[in-house]
Chain A
Amino acid sequence: MTITTKIPEDVEVRFRRRVEQLYGAGGIAQALERAIELWLSETKDEIVAIERKLNNDAFRRLWPELEEQQGRYVVIAHGKLQGIGDSIESLQSLAAGAHHRLVFKVGEPFPRKKRLGWRVRRKQRNLSVGIAKISSL
């Protein structure tokens, strides 16, 4: 891959100096590869969050037809219905390359309120409270 781009001069100076210290002459490719790997790792949460929203939007859109599949398993990924089956195992290979998937049993009862016990406490603010609930689940 060949990319031509311009970076601020002071960043370039610091970058070249650090590359020289760590890898010696000709180490730029090695440093860039490491930087890209680090960036890919650091942005994993962001891509999961984007696909999570896409898939949950698809779930809400698809719910009227999914509601008729009581007791069956469903996979939603890439913002689309990927498949419906009678067991979770039969669906596990669907959209295996997706960063996020919804895999669930339609109509499965699940308590909406939980006690978190003695140990759990919040370490940081959760900003995603307040999602509309589908009452017929």
Chain B
Amino acid sequence: MVQLDTGYDGELLLPYKLYQGLALYQWEYPEEYWAVGKTVSGEIIELILAKGQVLIPKWNVALEVFIETFEGNEEFLLGRSFIRKFKVLLDGPGNKVCLVGAPCGKET
């Protein structure tokens, strides 16, 4: 299950092993495009960057997204740049976050 972290301002952060498993290094951006990320504790981490697609079968959409990772990362997060395309429901009682609207230009 992928988690939403509004403190992460990228689109999609993948666990490093998943990045490798999906062979996303075959879709990588040059190092000059890689961003530098800062953790809440102030650590600076260079982020490997690739481009991929997120498929949402319910809406029959394939979103092109920037994917980031770094060696040793185990977090799987959607960030603010991704949810900017959606209406999002914070379902407290259900303990989940739901995308309730199709991305701009698509019907729900």
Interface residues on A, range: 35 or more
A102 touches B30 (CB 8 A): yes
Interface residues on B, range: 35 or more
> In the assembled complex, how far is the CB of residue B3 from the closest CB belonging to chain A, in whole angstroms?
7
Q: How far is the CA of A120 from the CA of B49 in the complex (A)?
A: 16
Contact of A56 among B31, B70, B74 (CB under 8 A): B31
Main secondary structure of the interface of A (DSSP, over half): loop
B107 within 8 A of A: no
Contact of B7 among A99, A100, A116 (CB under 8 A): A116
> In the assembled complex, how far is the CB of residue A4 from the closest CB belonging to chain B, in whole angstroms?
35
Contact of A120 among B27, B32, B75 (CB under 8 A): B75
B51 touches A117 (CB 8 A): no
Given known A-B contacts A118-B5, A126-B46, A113 and B36 have beta carbons under 8 A apart: yes
Q: How far is the CA of A108 from the CA of B66 in the complex (A)?
A: 11
Give 1 or 0 for each of B13-34: 1 = CB within 8 Å of chain A CB: 1000000100001111111111
Contact of B46 among A44, A76, A119, A131 (CB under 8 A): A131
B35 touches A112 (CB 8 A): yes
A128 within 8 A of B: yes
Contact of B39 among A60, A101, A121 (CB under 8 A): A121
B35 touches A119 (CB 8 A): no
A49, closest chain B residue (CB): B25
A114 touches B28 (CB 8 A): no
B28 touches A100 (CB 8 A): yes
B32 touches A134 (CB 8 A): yes
For residue A128, which residues in chain B have a CB less than 8 angstroms away from its CB? 46
For residue B74, which residues in chain A have a CB less than 8 angstroms away from its CB? 123
Contact of A124 among B7, B25, B66, B71 (CB under 8 A): B71
| Chain A residues proximal to chain B, CB less than 8 Å | 44-45, 48, 52, 55-56, 59-60, 76, 88, 98-104, 108, 110-124, 126, 128-129, 131-134, 137
The 9 closest A-B CB pairs, nearest first, are A117-B7, A117-B8, A123-B72, A117-B5, A114-B37, A124-B72, A116-B37, A59-B30, A134-B32
Q: List 29 A-B contacts (CB under 8 A).
A: A44-B20, A48-B25, A52-B28, A56-B30, A100-B25, A100-B26, A101-B26, A102-B28, A102-B29, A110-B33, A112-B35, A114-B36, A114-B47, A115-B9, A115-B38, A116-B37, A119-B3, A119-B75, A120-B13, A120-B39, A120-B45, A121-B39, A126-B45, A126-B46, A126-B70, A126-B71, A126-B72, A128-B46, A131-B34
